[in-house]
Amino acid sequence: MKTSKKEKTNTYAKNDDKELLLRLRAGDQIAFEEIYHKYKDRIATKLFSVLKLDDLVADALQELFFKVWEKRQTIDPDQNIGGYLYRIATHLALDHFRKLAREQRANAAITFTPQEDDLQLYQEKFDKELFQLIDQLPEQRKRVFMMCKFENKSYEEVAGKLHISTNAVKDHVVKANKFLKKNYRKIFPWVGYIIALHALKDFL
C-alpha cells in the first residue's frame, strides 16, 4: 500500500516536532527558538480570542514560553507540541480571569464572581451537564473529540485510527468545541465567564 504525499508530510512534521522536543529537553536554545517561531502566531491567535487585548496576549505569550523553557526537562517528547502549548495558554487565560475577579471583588465592582470554593461546589454539576452535551454530538464527532481530549491522542493518531484525514479531525474538534461552549453558557446563563472557562479548560 502506497503512502500518500500528505501522510508523508504529516509523518515528517511529527518526527520534526519530536526531534525539537528532544533537543529542547537537552537544553538546546536553537530548538527552543524554532518551537517559538513555529507556534507563536497560532498560540497568540488563541490567546487573543479569549483575552481580546494585544498587551495581555504579549504578556501571556512571554510567560508561556518562559514556562516551556523552565520545565523543558519534564516535557514528554512523544506528545503533540501544539496541544501542549494550547493547554498552557488555556491555563494562563484562566489565571488572568481569576486575578481580574480577585481585583474586582476587592473593589466591590461586580455583582457575582465565584471563588475557589464555589468552583469546587459547582464542578460536579457542571461536569454532568458537560458530558450530557458531549453525548449530543454526532457519533463520529464525539469519537474524535473523546480521543483527542480524553485520550490525549494527536490529530494524526486519531486520523489513522478512524481512517479519516487530519483536516477532518481538526474540523470535528473545532465544531465540537464551538457547540460545547455555546450550549454550556445557555445551560448556566447566571454563571460568570470565569466558571465557564474553568469547567471547559481541558477541552478548549
Q: Which structural domain range is residue 4 located in?
A: 1-112
Question: Are the C-beta atoms of residues 172 and 141 closer than 8 Å to each other?
Answer: yes
- 10 and 75 both lie in a single domain: yes
- 6 and 90 both lie in a single domain: yes
- 70 and 138 both lie in a single domain: no
- 107 and 161 both lie in a single domain: no
- 138 and 51 both lie in a single domain: no
Cell 472557562, residue? 197
- In this predicted model, what pLDDT tens digit does every residue of 70-91 receive, in sequence order? 999 999 998 888 888 988 888 8
Whole-number pLDDT of residue 33: 94
Q: In sequence order, which residues have a C-beta less than 8 Å from that of residue 161 and are 6 or more positions away?
A: 147, 153
- In this predicted model, what pLDDT tens digit does every residue of 169-178 receive, in sequence order? 999 988 988 8
Residue 203: all three cell numbers together:
477541552
In this structure, what CATH number is given to the domain that contains residue 13?
Answer: 1.10.1740.10
Whole-number pLDDT of residue 196: 47
In this structure, what CATH number is given to the domain that contains residue 124?
Answer: 1.10.10.10
- 12 and 98 both lie in a single domain: yes
Question: Are the C-beta atoms of residues 75 and 29 closer than 8 Å to each other?
Answer: no
Number of structural domains in the chain: 2
Confidence label for 47 from pLDDT (cuts 50, 70 and 90)? confident
